[in-house]
Amino acid sequence: MRRYLASAWLPMRRYAEFSGRSQPQEFWAFTLVITGLTLLCDVIDELAGLSFDGAGWAMGATGVAGAVFSLVTLIPFLAVAVRRVHDTNLRGWWLLPPLAANVACFIALGAMFGIHDFPMEREEEVAVLTLGFLGTFLLLIVLLCRKGTAGPNRFGDDPQPTIDYDDVFN
């Protein structure tokens, strides 16, 4: 359990470090923890009456606490994602096209469903945007799930044997 928590905390210690490599456990542990904490922020926003009316979910947060938490964790999430792609010997720029397309589809869908009198004749557009969102999301998952290269690559040494998990909390 300590190793898992250390893996989840490590991206915050390496806040804006876009160079080097990160092992899969570091990326996925951090992703799971920030997803859970984002949901907790959403509950806090709802209970405290701080949620945005209708438009918040399109920003990835439903209220003030969620928005602040998302802003605080955005840079470490991008940094660990880039380092994760570096571990597969690809440049971090490989994340940009699917991420940009994913965000564009998400915003367009949010804007369409934010219209109170949504015209049903736009079903084809919603279907295309939904497929685009799912397709680019799947591409991101594939990029982030690839096995890292064994040994050193052009982005640094293999992170597997070099992380001292006891040192993460110090």
pTM above 0.85, yes or no: no
In the prediction, which pLDDT does 165 show? 56
Confidence at 170, pLDDT banded by 50, 70, 90: low
Amino acid at 118: F
CA 123, distance to chain mean position in Å, is 28
CA distance readout (Å), 98 to 9, 75, 139? 26, 18, 7
| Residue 58 confidence class, pLDDT cut points 50, 70, 90 | very low
* Residue spans per domain, the chain: 2-157
pLDDT > 90: what percent of the chain? Answer: 32
**79 contacts 13 by C-beta, under 8 angstroms:** no
Please tell me what DSSP assigns to residue 51: B
The yes-or-no verdict on residue 163 having pLDDT over 90 is no
